[in-house]
């Protein structure tokens, strides 16, 4: 088997991810094989020949090798898992319809209810400091179906969106109707954080939550200091609390 030009890399080390290493190795093996079979010098192989000799079917077979080993991919876009559930990990908890669903982050700061029934159930990073805390009813929004439901029926006044998508597209048609937003991911600079600021909606990003169910009454400490670039750099804690209130 011929060597690839990158095979004699003085400094190269494998990537940290085992999956990434496996795929890079598989692709390099494929290129090495095709290069050898072509019997061409590299300069004739690199574009004109390899463009023909390395095919989509080759990359399909690399995916198949991984799947045959029993590996299943994590998914990030719902559509990926829905279309090809056989190649992705199960989508447990991906929908909003389970009334019993709640985020359950191990680092959520939780506490017992105080005299008023208010109990800590997590913390997040405040996008913009507001004069007062935001209070409302928690509504999970984690799927297109839920968005369509809200498009058709309207977002109930005083709703606090509980979201795990820090992007600005999933909730695009309904976002402005929420009285508050809690996002279990991203940062204040994520698209959702940017949009919350543009709309003037109280918002906590990168939230660690435990025990909030759809329909719970919640309070967000949006009167806390806003998260800052400096705090991200220094790693300084700058969190805002999230409480569950008595019904």
Partner 1 sequence: MSRPEISYAQLLETNNLIQNCGEETYWLCLTRTVQGSKLFPVSAYILFSYLNAFYRYPSLLRKIEASMPAEAIADRARNMGMKIQNAAIGWALPNFYLLGRELLITFGMLRPQDALEDVIYVMDFWKRYVLSWHRNDGHLNNREYGQRAQILPDRRLEVFHRDLYSCEPGDALHEAAHSFLATASQYGFLISCESRISLTNSGPYRLDDRHEMIVRDFMDLAECSLPWLDGVAADVPYNYLTVPMSVRDCHFSIVDDWGSFESKPEFTSDKLAGVGLYTSDALSEGFVPVGMGSREELTATFRLLNDKMKEATRKLWLRIAGWTRDQMLDAGALTYYNIIKDLAHVAGVFAVEDWLTIDARAERFRPLFNDELSDQLLGSLVVGHDLPGHRQSPYTMMQHSDRPVRAYTPLPYSVLAGDDYVASCGEPQSGTSHLDPKIDRYRTTQGVLTLEEYNRRARDFTPELCGDQYRFLCETWVKYHYRTPLAQDLYRLEQRQSRTLQGKGAGPR
Backbone angles phi, psi at 54, to 5 degrees: -105, 115
CB 192 within 8 A of CB 153: no
Binding to partner 1 by residue 5, rule CB under 8 A? yes
Residues numbered 138 to 197 that lie near partner 1 (CB under 8 A) are: 142-144, 147-148, 151, 164-170, 172-173, 175-176, 185-187, 189-191, 194-195, 197
User: Of 97-136, which residues contact partner 1 (CB under 8 A)?
Assistant: 128-129
CA distance 186 to 189: 8
Whole-angstrom CA distances from 140 to 13, 97, 103, 155, 206 are: 43, 9, 10, 12, 15
Interface with partner 1 includes 32 (CB under 8 A)?
yes
Helix residue spans in 110-203 (DSSP H): 144-153, 191-199
Give the count of beta carbons closer than 10 Å to the beta carbon of residue 171: 23
Smallest distance, partner 1 to C-beta of residue 47, A: 5
User: Could you say whether residue 93 binds partner 1 (CB under 8 A)?
Assistant: no
Q: How many residues bind partner 1 (CB under 8 A)?
A: 82
Of 45-53, 105-113, 115-123, 209-217: span binding partner 1 (CB under 8 A): 45-53
CB of 21 to partner 1, least distance (A): 10
Question: What minimum distance in Å lies between the beta carbon of 115 and partner 1?
Answer: 35
Shortest Å, Cβ 63 to partner 1:
5
Measured distance CA(70)–CA(67) in Å, rounded? 5
If one asks whether residue 65 binds partner 1 (CB under 8 A), the answer comes out as no
Figure out which of the listed residues 54, 109, 110, 245 binds partner 1, where binding follows CB under 8 A. 54
Measured over the CA atoms of residue 38, residue 40, residue 44 and residue 45, the dihedral's sign is positive
């Amino acid at each position: 088997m011929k060597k690839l030009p990158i095979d004699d890399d003085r400094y190269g080390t494998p990537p940290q991810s085992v999956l990434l290493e496996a795929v890079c190795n598989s692709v390099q093996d494929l290129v090495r094989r095709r290069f050898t079979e072509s019997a061409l010098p590299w300069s004739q192989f690199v574009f004109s020949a390899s463009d023909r000799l390395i095919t989509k079917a080759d990359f399909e077979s690399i995916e198949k090798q991984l799947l045959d080993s029993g590996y299943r991919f994590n998914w990030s876009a719902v559509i990926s898992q829905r279309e090809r559930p056989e190649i992705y990990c199960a989508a447990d908890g991906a929908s909003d319809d389970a009334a019993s669903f709640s985020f359950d982050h191990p680092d959520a700061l939780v506490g017992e209810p105080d005299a008023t029934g208010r109990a800590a159930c997590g913390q997040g990073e405040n996008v913009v400091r507001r004069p007062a805390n935001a209070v409302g009813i928690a509504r999970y929004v984690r799927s297109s179906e839920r968005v369509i439901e809200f498009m058709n029926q309207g977002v109930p006044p005083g709703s606090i969106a509980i979201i795990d998508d820090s992007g600005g597209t999933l909730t695009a048609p309904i976002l402005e109707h929420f009285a508050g937003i809690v996002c279990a991911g991203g940062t204040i600079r994520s698209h959702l954080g940017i949009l919350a600021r543009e709309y003037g909606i109280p918002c906590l990003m990168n939230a660690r939550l435990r025990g909030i169910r759809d329909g719970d009454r919640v309070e967000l400490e949006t009167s806390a200091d806003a998260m800052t670039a400096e705090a991200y750099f220094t790693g300084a804690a700058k969190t805002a609390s999230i409480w569950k209130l008595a019904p």
